[in-house]
Amino acid sequence: MKCTTANVAALTAIMAALTACSGQTPAAPEATQAGQPSTPTLAPTFTMKGAFDIPASGGENLTQGTACKGTGTYADAESGAPVRVYNANGEVIAQGALPNGTFQVTPIGSACVFSVTVYAVPDGLLQYGVQIGEHGVRPVKSDETHAWVFLHASWTIGPNQPRASLA
């Protein structure tokens, strides 16, 4: 079979359809010994899961299980806030969004806790970067991204101290 313009166009259309249906980018076809492209394969991906929490100072009058969101420097931590995953070159390689936060009281304190789920994260990197909203990118090792990522809003000093409030 000759590699004609029609064959290349058909292969390109198939790869575009696979990308649209799966949300994953197919790997570039490799040449076979006969010089023909092989069947495209999808790069392996995984789902990153974890949690992001914002400490509560105790004066918020929230009860266990109440919907909450961030305030102060974390006012953007609310339902729909972007969760971005980066590679070592600083490129966004996967994205998700925060759901509603839930106020949680534990023996060591209280916090507004958001579950974190990002689908179709490209596999195979030694380290990833994770960013919530417009805050700094936190480096996360590969084994942590495959198990459970725990992101914690650190306390700051001053009037913009992150804390939880009613959503």
What is the token pair recorded at 157? 């000093």
Question: Is the pTM above the cut of 0.75?
Answer: no
Q: Give the tens place of pLDDT for each residue, 24-53.
A: 444 444 444 555 555 566 789 999 999 999
Give bridge partners of residue 54 from the DSSP assignment: 112
